[in-house]
Amino acid sequence: MSSVKVSALSAKTSPSGSEELLINDGGTSKKITIANLTKGHDLPTVPSGITTDTNKEYNLKLTDVSGTETLTWIEETDTDTTYSTATTTTEGLVKIEDDTAQTIAANTVTATASRTYGVQLNSSDQAVVNVPWTDTDTGITDVVDDTTPQLGGNLDFQTHKATSFTSTGIDDNATGTKLTISDTTITGVGAFTSTSIDATKLSGDLPAIDGASLTGFTDAQMPAGSVVQVVSSTNTTHYSTTSSSVQQGPQTGTLTLKNTSNKVLVTVTFIVRMTKTGGGAQGGRYAIYRGSIASGTKLTAGSEPQHYFNDPGTESYILTTLTYYDTPGANTTYSLGYYKHPAGTTAEIHGGFFTTHFTMQEVSV
């Protein structure tokens, strides 16, 4: 009789129950069919849902009643209902902070340094994470003025770009210069600098500005016809002459021009007194001079203003005003010159009755 290993035998996957098995019965070899082997110990019906219920545990229980053995399924019940809160050393339970379902997918796990933070419990035993966030962004670069504004690029001002923003200015990508803004000045190239505003780039009404705030606004920048400064000078001296030559009358102090190209509107108001004796006539002539009478320039064109009366009276008083629009070209003084008419006796500037008053208005050109 040939011998065959059990491992070399063919497997029977679907026994009918009539197949025979070899058993050892108290040292005696016997045979038994599969049907007789499981008889009296048939497995009970599998509980409904046992193949899908992963949260329950079932055990087989063998009972013997009067020699009749029965197998039954017993569902194990966990009666341990005591749970503790998780600590740094003990596993346990925690609460979540919010019951709202998060619809945003989690980021991919990384191993980036200085980005890992531990979980803590707040006073309600909710799991929380505190992230010590710090803003390290020191500027904006490259923001494009398209339909999808974005951070991280050049800030495009139509045809020019500001390549960087810093604490001291905005860098113009086109010219390489900066619009520098500090506590006291704005400097740069374009419509608005520390010294000028390009009027062609302004529209609408300008706001009212207190004159005291217009620091750095030079007289040379005043529009033509503007009064830059007004200076007055007074004199109460009485002047009198019997000479037919021009005499020195009241003289102002030096007028310091804001711009030597500007003009000066000179006005002098005074009282004239003229006298005569015998059959003569009352007469006096008066003129404005730039500088002194001796070394200055007479500003009257042609014959200077004069008063002349041929009447029976012996004296006359006249309130007189002379005006001249001068172009001095440098700092200067102004004088009032006077002398008598050849037919008169005296010509006077009467400071006792009226204060001689000069007004000098510097006008921009």
At 317-342, the pLDDT tens digits run 999 999 999 999 999 999 999 999 88
**DSSP run (H or E) holding 63:** strand 57-65
Fold of 228-363: Jelly Rolls (2.60.120)
Residue 178 · residue 188 · CB < 8 Å: yes
What would the pLDDT profile of 216-246 be if each residue is shown by its tens digit? Answer: 666 667 788 899 999 999 999 999 999 999 9
Stated pTM of the model: 0.45
User: How is residue 263 written in tokens?
Assistant: 């003009």
pLDDT reported for residue 301: 63
pLDDT reported for residue 300: 74
What would the pLDDT profile of 165-176 be if each residue is shown by its tens digit? Answer: 554 555 555 555
What would the pLDDT profile of 184-227 be if each residue is shown by its tens digit? Answer: 565 655 555 545 566 666 667 766 777 666 666 666 677 888 99
pLDDT reported for residue 110: 92
What would the pLDDT profile of 22-68 be if each residue is shown by its tens digit? Answer: 777 777 888 888 767 655 555 666 666 565 655 667 777 777 778 77
What would the pLDDT profile of 100-127 be if each residue is shown by its tens digit? Answer: 999 999 999 999 998 899 999 999 999 9
pLDDT of 273 higher than 70:
yes
pLDDT reported for residue 140: 54
The Cβ-side half-sphere exposure at 13, using a 13 Å CA radius, reads 0
pLDDT of 350 higher than 90:
yes
Cα–Cα distance for residue pair 67/72, rounded to 1 Å: 16
What average pLDDT score do residues 291-305 get? Answer: 84
pLDDT reported for residue 198: 64
pLDDT reported for residue 183: 56
**How do the domains of the chain map onto residue ranges?**
228-363
What average pLDDT score do residues 138-158 get? Answer: 52
pLDDT reported for residue 32: 81
Contacts of residue 299, Cβ cutoff 8 Å, sequence gap at least 6? 266, 287, 288, 289, 290, 324, 326
The values of phi and psi at residue 7, to 5°, are -65, -20
pLDDT reported for residue 283: 87
